[in-house]
Amino acid sequence: MSAPNIETIVSLSKRRGFVFPASEIYGGLGSSWDYGPLGVELANNIKKSWWRWLVYERDDIEGIDSSIIQNRLVWKYSGHEQTFHDPLVDCRTCKGRFRLDKLLDVQCVDHPEVHPGENKDCSLTEAREFNLMFRTTMGAVSSDDDPAALAYLRPETAQGIFINFANVLNTSRRKLPFGIAQIGKAFRNEVTPGNFIFRTREFEQMEMEYFCRAEDAPRLHQEWIDGFQAWLQSLGISAANMSLYEQSAEELAHYAERTVDIMYRFFPEREDESKQWDELMGIANRTDYDLRVHSKKPEDAEGKRINPDSTEDLSYFDPQTSERFYPYVIEPAIGVNRTLLAVMMDAYTEKTNEKGEVRVILKLKPEMAPIKVAVLPLAKNNDEIVTMAKKIKHELQSSMRTVYDDTGGIGKLYARQDEIGTPFCVTVDHESLDDHAVTVRDRDTWVQERVDVDSLSEYLGSRLR
């Protein structure tokens, strides 16, 4: 089983401290979300898994962390100033503002039973292009619209990698094929954000640019599509809730030759199966577009430099063949937030206890679980039990994320840990004082086992692995 809809995860997140509406005490801020004590741990676990898999466990990928605000010329030559637009329409009657290409995904403001444009009163304007980049000004400027001070918040982390291609190549002495990975915030002034953390204006991306020879690009593209499906499954996302989508020529971004999206079943409640899916990540063959457009050398048909502002040539010299060329790039790009949502939706299960009550269990993989172990005293008024439980918590916490909780009866405490995905609860009871053993309860089976305190850390460590 997985979550029946996103709303179920919204309420679990708020109730237990994964994700809260941002600026809530001031009425919120359209589609902005804050990550609470458990949400930040889950997001960090996803990022750590991605980084470990790509940067540490492979031999051919380096990591970087580039600036959110770059020289405006980066966005001029990347094409974002010219083309990073959504087509926008307004309704003169209901005053709604919609993306022309997403009309079927939203409702008319006055008549929510129909899509915009489908009611006789709807009066949509002609579409106009709306640039999605957030604008800001750099430094102490005389006026807010001083063009010399105009800067953008990055709409993707990828460009920070392309403009550092030569820096990384020269300092790490890499040979093709190799990749550069980066995790960081990106910002898009989305026309219709929504569906909780699925589409927001501020989000976090994990992007990797894998540089290779043009002739190797199609094969490597397929390898990364397969590789990412396997990695997503390792996070606990079931294959049945993932599918592949090949972008059509009309849908491809201006830089891409081929893009395959990995889709997740974010909307299982929709009757029409084809509408249940939406993009979790994209894997693009960006050709040599980016390295060329940021290079000082390439010329157009009339012999004029395509980029007269760049001071660097981002071509690659192959010492074995003595060729100089612009490498192709395979780009797997995924959002941390959408991954977190998919991981939570897939882990969501319900189980009926012996009293006939329905309990929520978040069956997260141990690697993903925000808390690995909860130590619970059976009697919070018994000093000896409390002291022993706190001592066990302190002993475990250096090797695994452990919490101590005595804020309710044992049944309530177990239910709370099940709901937030804690794989193991350790209970200290009256017998523990005599036999120096504790009860370890498994989240998924609710089976309890007695374990000696001296071997507890090793026991839990091996079961968490």
Kindly give the residue spans of alpha helices, DSSP state H, lying in 18-79: 37-51, 72-78
Q: Does 278 bind ligand GAP (CB under 6 A)?
A: no
Stretch that binds ligand GAP, among 89-97, 107-115, 331-339, 438-446 (CB under 6 A): 331-339
Q: Does 99 bind ligand GAP (CB under 6 A)?
A: no
Q: Does 31 bind ligand GAP (CB under 6 A)?
A: no
Stated as kind and residue range, the H or E segment containing 301 is: none
Q: Does 190 bind ligand GAP (CB under 6 A)?
A: yes
Q: Does 224 bind ligand GAP (CB under 6 A)?
A: no
Q: Which residue is closest to ligand GAP by CB?
A: 335
C-beta closer to ligand GAP: residue 280 or 396: 280
Q: Which of 398, 370, 388 is nearest to 426 (CA)?
A: 388
Strands 424-428 and 373-377 turn out to be parallel
Q: Does 265 bind ligand GAP (CB under 6 A)?
A: no
Task: Tell me how far, at minimum, the Cβ of 336 lies from ligand GAP, in Å.
Answer: 8
Considering just the CA atoms, what is the radius of gyration of the chain in Å? Answer: 26
Burial group, residue 325, by CB count within 10 angstroms (0-12, 13-18, 19+): middle
Task: Tell me how far, at minimum, the Cβ of 182 lies from ligand GAP, in Å.
Answer: 10
Stretch that binds ligand GAP, among 56-64, 197-205, 302-310, 341-349 (CB under 6 A): 197-205
Residue 264 φ then ψ, to 5°: -125, 150
Amino acid at 11: S
Q: Does 343 bind ligand GAP (CB under 6 A)?
A: no
Q: Does 207 bind ligand GAP (CB under 6 A)?
A: yes
- Torsion, Cα 195 206 184 204, to 10 degrees, reads 0
C-beta closer to ligand GAP: residue 150 or 263: 263
Task: Tell me how far, at minimum, the Cβ of 186 lies from ligand GAP, in Å.
Answer: 7
Q: Does 282 bind ligand GAP (CB under 6 A)?
A: yes
Stretch that binds ligand GAP, among 18-26, 335-343, 399-407, 437-445 (CB under 6 A): 335-343
Please tell me the distance from the alpha carbon of residue 30 to that of residue 97, in angstroms, as a whole number.
14
C-beta closer to ligand GAP: residue 189 or 399: 189
Q: How would DSSP label each residue in 405-458?
A: --SS-HHHHHHHHHHHT-SEEEEE-HHHHHH-EEEEEETTT--EEEEEGGGHHH
Residue 423 φ then ψ, to 5°: -65, -35
Kindly give the residue spans of alpha helices, DSSP state H, lying in 203-322: 217-234, 289-293
Stated as kind and residue range, the H or E segment containing 104 is: none
Q: Does 211 bind ligand GAP (CB under 6 A)?
A: no
Which residues make up the interface to ligand GAP (CB under 6 A)? 156, 158, 188, 190, 199-200, 203, 205, 207, 279-282, 331, 333-335, 337-338
